[in-house]
Amino acid sequence: MDTFQTIGKSLQRKEGIPKVNGQAVYADDIRLENCLHGKTVRSTVPHGRIKQIRFGGDIHWNEFTIVLPSDIPGKNAVTLIDTEQPFLAEREIRHVAEPIALIAHPDKELVKTAHHYIHVDVEPLPAVFTMDEALQLNHVFKSYLVQNGDPSERWSGADLIVEETYRTGAQEHLYIEPQAMIATAIQGEQVTVWGSMQCPYYVQKALAPLFGLDPERVRVVQTETGGGFGGKEEYPNMIAGHAALLSWKAGGRPVKMIYDRREDMWATTKRHPSKTHIKAGFKHDGTLAVLDIDFLLDGGAYPTLSSVVLSRGILHAAGPYKCDCTRVRGRVVMTNSVPYGAFRGFGAPQSIYAIEMHMNRSAQELGIDPAELRRRNFLHQGDQMPTGQVIQEEIDLEMMMDRALELSSYRRKRTEFEEFNKRGETHRRGIGLSVFFHGSGFTGSGESHIGSEVAMRLTGQGGVEVLAANVEYGQGTNTVLAQIAAEACRIPPDLVEIHQPDTAAVPNSGPTVASRTTMITGKLVERASLELRKRLLEPDDFTTAARQYLAKHGELKVLVRYEPPAEIHWDDETYRGEAYAAYAWSCDVAEVELDLIDCTARATKFVSVVECGRVINPLLAACQIEGGIAQGIGLALYENVVLEQGAMKNNQFTNYIIPTAADVPEIQVEFVEFPHSNPGPYQAKGIGEMPIDGPAPAIASAVAQTLGGRFINEIPVLPERILSEVESS
């Protein structure tokens, strides 16, 4: 039995006090002298050619700083995976809300007024808004195929074939702090931005070519960040570039760009809408014989991160089941919608929704309980996934599912609800489940490509400081990295300081995405800590040894770089190999109540059993799971992005509905630990994204029970969709 001083303890959030007393400094809280307020002029048509921009009205335009594409000193392209998306559209507009020009003025109110007097004349072009149209036109950004057999040869051997199509809509992140950035840019010299973001080095990479500067002349500092959920992965590149362009044009005056809520919801990325076709062949006993999945995503007008979202989507599409003949085809298409981007789960919630719905529906058609059907098909240690990856981890999905069934009284309730629903009351009850995994860290060879680095140094107090680029945005980076450093150095966690992410001070430990901070960056922190201990000659008393070292030598700083585990191999060409170095696993059970009068469904109880290796901080980990479940409940039942010309029409808190305090059910989270043979620090795996993968299929399947076994194959399960099922039954 391992004994730890700090790991496994529910320490308080490290930056907690300023967050509860109002002293935490978010971007919009920073006061600057001589500051300009920036705003973006955006297109109102989905596709067209820009003819001219007119500055009208009774506005003293000479008092404004105005940036047009011709003012851009370097390359007019947001450097991400590719360089297809411009900072400002120059000739062609590809979506509504696309940035065209920038204005700034010292008077914030005047900027808002003046903005209405800028007219962009556009020659409209035909626009595409559906995935089917895009496919017909062959507007495909990226496609992948994962295959371990040929399904066409296997259908005849199946006793039952179940074939369905599942759809998910866009989802808005709705972080409570909108996108926010401040910049100063001195021509030919230096660009500095401070703001709300997940990936400081992404911003640096995007801005250096924009200004034709070496990356080290672009300094990016993360301010306290009020939520992100993927929405502050790539979009901050755009707003940082805009703020910096305005400052550059204004001779280096600071420029603040804070989106109001409507602009934020209208113009920024969302979760990719999806359409998944699944054809599955089963034996009479429920054994999965053949599985053929076609996974389609709407990427919107520019590629952004769509190719990697697609990749994660297909690599989670077959679920935690063993099947020796699986084919997963994935495609992401281009439409004239506002570009879709990173959102917690990154393609996996869409494909997991489809496979888990399909398992529940197939169970019904086979006449087998959904839990029992899963039990007959679960992956075990030593089994192969469709990429050929052999599960090395110790994992016991039967045990996890049994625990979730027990905590939720699933069997009893499933029968009771069946009886209750026959009574003809005005409401119905249902219970449903999902079982799923989520790969920790970047897909395939991603971690090797970015080669993350973490530095640590001794502090005058005899403790250590962690220098990493991973940000705290509510999920617990500061606390978890401090706990790992404290444990490895053998010092109290109070003696660990975490440097604010700042590209001028911290090395590039990679982006704060992909459930990678604890597992990948945390491992680097552990290694750097051990290196410090080694340099101090493995002291019994670290603090005294550190002070003595500093008195004698002045400084001790170490830098460690990511090294892939020896057994991890991935082939980007064939999509074969170890897709992820480790997986976290989970089983959700959801109860719902359906009101037949207004056709609303609500979640009434939720159980989640989670395996994520060793839990570094049980309180913060549970917070992550519960928050992800709440977002998953929103995805399942409420969160409906209404699109008009490819842009969000209901772009307000008033009419985009997320779960409130009055809507969330009792949520029970239980961790089980199989902390062996995974490459994380103290055998910890990622946890941030997985909790949003499972709620939608569990809830939607519970709704199916309320409807007498009729499945609605689209989320969110809105009252309108329920009504049409009720009416047609």
Partner 1 sequence: MQISLTVNGKNYQVTPPPMKRLLDVLREDLALTGTKEGCGEGECGACTAIMDGVLVLTCMVPICQAAGKHVTTIEGLAADGKLHPLQQAFLEKGGAQCGICTPGMIIAAAYYLEHPDEAEDIGEALAGNQCRCTGYTRIFESVKAAGVWDEC
Q: Does 627 bind partner 1 (CB under 8 A)?
A: yes
Minimum CB–partner distance for residue 478 and partner 1 (Å) = 12
For 442, 565, 588, 641, the CA distances from 450, given in Å and listed in that order, are 9, 15, 33, 34
Q: What residues does 144 pair with on adjacent strands?
A: 330
Question: Do residues 595 and 462 make contact, with C-beta atoms less than 8 angstroms apart?
Answer: no
Residue 407 found at the interface with partner 1 (CB under 8 A): no
Burial of residue 1, with CB atoms counted within 10 A of its CB: 0-12 exposed, 13-18 middle, 19 or more buried: exposed
Q: Are 386 and 564 in contact (CB under 8 A)?
A: no
Among 9-17, 351-359, 432-440, 565-573, the segment contacting partner 1 (CB under 8 A): 9-17
> 19: burial class by Cβ within 10 Å (0-12, 13-18, 19+)?
middle
Q: Out of 314, 629, 684, 718, name the contact with partner 1 by CB under 8 A.
A: 629
Identify the CA nearest to 603 among candidates 671, 669, 670, 659: 659
Question: In this chain, which stretch among 21-29, 461-469, 677-685, 714-722 interacts with partner 1, using CB under 8 A?
Answer: 21-29
> Both tokens of residue 181?
């950035």
* Residues 213, 215, 217: CA angle, nearest 5 degrees: 65
Beta-carbon count within 10 A of 279 CB: 18
Token pair, residue 517, equals 């901070």
- 111 touches partner 1 (CB under 8 A): no
Instruction: Give the Cα separation of 475 and 477 in Å (integer).
Output: 6
Question: Any idea how long the chain is?
Answer: 729
In this structure, what token pair is assigned to residue 206? 């995007």
Closest CA to 297 of 325, 269, 326: 269
- Residue with smaller CB distance to partner 1, 259 or 583: 259
* Binding range to partner 1, per CB under 8 A, among 44-52, 346-354, 471-479, 521-529: 471-479
Identity of the residue, 10 or 600, whose beta carbon is nearer to partner 1 in the bound complex: 10
Among all chains, which residue has been given the structure tokens 């290796």?
Answer: 613
Q: Does the protein bind partner 1 through residue 642 (CB under 8 A)?
A: no
| Dist CA 610 CA 587 (whole Å) | 7
Q: Which of 6, 7, 8, 28 is in the footprint of partner 1 by CB under 8 A?
A: 28
Smallest separation (angstroms) from partner 1 to the CB of 667? 5
Residue number with CB closer to partner 1 (302 or 606): 606
| Binding map of partner 1 across residues 155-194, x = CB under 8 A, - = no contact | ------------------xxxxxx----------------
Does 460 help bind partner 1 (rule: CB under 8 A)?
Answer: no
Residue 33 contacts partner 1 per CB under 8 A: no
Asked whether 487 and 479 are in contact (CB, 8 A), the reply is no
Distance of CA 185 to the CA centre of its chain: 30
Instruction: Characterize 627-638 residue by residue with b for buried, 16 or more Cβ atoms within 10 angstroms of its Cβ, and e for exposed.
Output: bbbbbbbbbbbb
Question: Is 638 near partner 1 (CB under 8 A)?
Answer: no
Q: What is the DSSP code string of 66-80?
A: EE-GGG-SS--S--S
Does 229 sit near partner 1 (CB under 8 A)? yes
The distance of closest approach from Cβ of residue 198 to partner 1 in the complex, given in angstroms and rounded to an integer, is: 11
Q: For residues 268 and 360, which CB has a smaller minimum distance to partner 1 in the complex?
A: 268
In the shown chain, the binding pattern of residues 328 to 367 toward partner 1, with x for contact by CB under 8 A and - for none, equals: ----------------------------------------
Q: How many residues bind partner 1 (CB under 8 A)?
A: 57
Q: Is 644 exposed, middle or buried (0-12, 13-18, 19+ CB in 10 A)?
A: exposed
Among residues 12 and 415, whose Cβ is nearest to partner 1?
12
Q: Write out the two tokens for 372.
A: 């029992």
Quick one: 478 or 713, whose CB is closer to partner 1?
478
Nearest residue (CB) to partner 1, 120 versus 589: 589
By CB under 8 A, residue 17 contacts partner 1: yes
Specify the stretch interacting with partner 1 by CB under 8 A; choose among 155-163, 210-218, 227-235, 281-289: 227-235
Neighbours of 551 (CB within 10 A): 9
Among 5, 25, 132, 212, binds partner 1 (CB under 8 A): 25
Residues in 647-666 that interact with partner 1 by CB under 8 A: 652-654, 658, 660-664, 666
Residues 245-284 that bind partner 1 (CB under 8 A): 260-261
- Cβ(267)–Cβ(85) under 8 Å? no
Residue closer to partner 1 by CB (options 11, 579) is: 11
Nearer to partner 1, 146 or 633 (CB): 633
Report yes or no: 233 and 511 within 8 Å, Cβ to Cβ: yes
Least Å distance, CB 16 to partner 1, is: 5
DSSP 573: T
Q: Shortest approach of partner 1 to residue 225 CB, angstroms?
A: 7
Q: What is the H or E stretch that residue 432 is in?
A: strand 427-439
Smallest gap from Cβ 21 to partner 1, in A, equals: 6
Instruction: Pick the stretch among 43-51, 365-373, 544-552, 617-625 that binds partner 1 (CB under 8 A).
Output: 617-625
Q: Which stretch binds partner 1 (CB under 8 A): 12-20, 148-156, 312-320, 521-529?
A: 12-20
Stretch that binds partner 1, among 37-45, 83-91, 156-164, 628-636 (CB under 8 A): 628-636
Contact 590, 695 (CB under 8 A): yes
- Kindly state whether residue 569 participates in binding partner 1, applying the rule CB under 8 A: no
54-77 burial, b at 16+ Cβ within 10 Å, e below that, comes to eeeeebeeeebbbbebebbeeebb
> Is residue 230 near partner 1 by the rule CB under 8 A?
no
Distance of closest approach, residue 29 Cβ to partner 1, in angstroms: 4
Decide whether 226 or 441 has the Cβ nearer to partner 1: 226
| Residue 588 found at the interface with partner 1 (CB under 8 A) | no
The answer to whether residue 511 forms part of the interface with partner 1 (CB under 8 A) is no
What's the closest the beta carbon of residue 213 comes to partner 1, in angstroms?
31
What are the start-end ranges of the E strands in 10-149?
36-42, 48-55, 65-67, 92-93, 99-105, 118-124, 140-147
Among residues 37 and 154, whose Cβ is nearest to partner 1? Answer: 37
Cβ proximity to partner 1: between 265 and 581 the closer is 265
Among 69, 73, 209, 227, binds partner 1 (CB under 8 A): 227
Q: How far is the CB of 181 from partner 1 (least distance, A)?
A: 16
Alpha-carbon distances of 696 from 331, 710, 724, rounded to whole Å: 22, 16, 20
From the DSSP assignment, how many helices (H) and strands (E) are in the chain? 18, 28
Measured from the CB atom, the residue of 452 and 608 that comes closer to partner 1 is: 608
Alpha-carbon gap, residue 42 to 102, rounded angstroms: 9
Is residue 145 part of the contact set for partner 1 (CB under 8 A)? no
Q: How far is the CB of 696 from partner 1 (least distance, A)?
A: 15
Task: Establish if 551 lies at the interface with partner 1 (CB under 8 A).
Answer: no
Residues found near partner 1 in the complex (CB under 8 A): 10, 12-13, 15-26, 28-29, 31, 173-178, 224-229, 260-261, 473-476, 619-620, 622-623, 626-631, 652-654, 658, 660-664, 666-667
